Amino acid sequence: MDRKHFSPLPQSPLKSGATYYMPDPTMATRVSLNSPAIEVMTDLRRVGAVTVGPDTAIDIADQSMKIHSVRALIVVDARRRVLGIITATDILGEKPLKLTHECGFRHDEITVQHIMTLAERLDVIEMRDVLLADVGHVLETLKQSARQHALVVDQDADNRQTIRGIFSTTQIARQLGITLHTAEVGRSFAEIEAAIGP
């Protein structure tokens, strides 16, 4: 039955010292290796993509990751075209050190474009394949590519390839109920495999 009349909900003043909820990682849907892959994909139609420009200093990009609780940013130009991806491992790993030692850069001169993975070097997964896959397929794909993130693409209304989603080993581990103790790719998968068992 459709209502025609609605009464207002009770309201009261906000109490002094009130706080607000933060996302609870334990509220993420629990999955198994046999769960549908879509359950561990961050769907960019539901959650806004966290992006960064190529000229952004890496320290600013790192701060953005911390603020948004992500470990990767999509690098885009002013027209929203994808230029690449930058991860926390890129920023905190050897790439910046190499630039300072081999090329004479100061740390504060290093920008996202210096250390990101270019779009043409990224492999992507088609959404139609994700819809037929399980979580175990995604983990095996990430392990084989030695990456902690994978992009999922679909076609937009103009038939252009568009990033639809992102898989993250950290997110998948969380939903499997596993706490990762390292950001290093090989060890992350070893931790997941040890927790899951044979």
Confirm if 43 and 165 have CB atoms less than 8 A apart: yes
d(CA 28, CA 48): 17
Residue 153 has pLDDT above 90, yes or no: yes
Quickly tell me which residue has 């969380």 as its tokens: 174
In tens, the pLDDT along 13-35 reads 888 887 777 666 555 678 888 99
Architecture, CATH, for domain 32-196: Roll (3.10)
CA distance from start to end of the chain: 53
Q: What is the pLDDT of residue 189?
A: 61
Output the pLDDT for position 10: 85
This model's pTM is above 0.85: no
Structure token pair of residue 57: 């200093």
Question: For the chain, what percent of residues have pLDDT higher than 90?
Answer: 47
- Ranges 23-32, 46-55, 88-97, 152-161: which has the least confidence: 23-32
For 51, the token pair is 């992006």
Specify the DSSP element, H or E, that contains 166.
Answer: strand 161-168
Q: Which residue has the higher pLDDT, 122 or 194?
A: 122
Q: What is the chain's mean pLDDT, rounded? A: 87
pLDDT given for residue 185 in this prediction: 58
The reported pLDDT for the residue numbered 53 is 97
* Band of pLDDT at residue 183, cut at 50, 70 and 90: low
Determine if residue 69 is left, alpha or beta; phi over 0 gives left, psi from -120 to 50 gives alpha, anything else beta. Answer: left
Q: What is the pLDDT of residue 184?
A: 59
Report d(CA 3, CA 38) in Å as an integer.
36
**Top-confidence residue, 198 or 120:** 120
The domain limits of the chain are: 32-196
- Beta strand 72-76 with 82-87 is antiparallel
Q: How many CA atoms lie within 13 A of 122 on its CB side?
A: 23
Q: Are 166 and 85 in contact (CB under 8 A)?
A: no
Q: Decide if pLDDT at 157 tops 90.
A: no
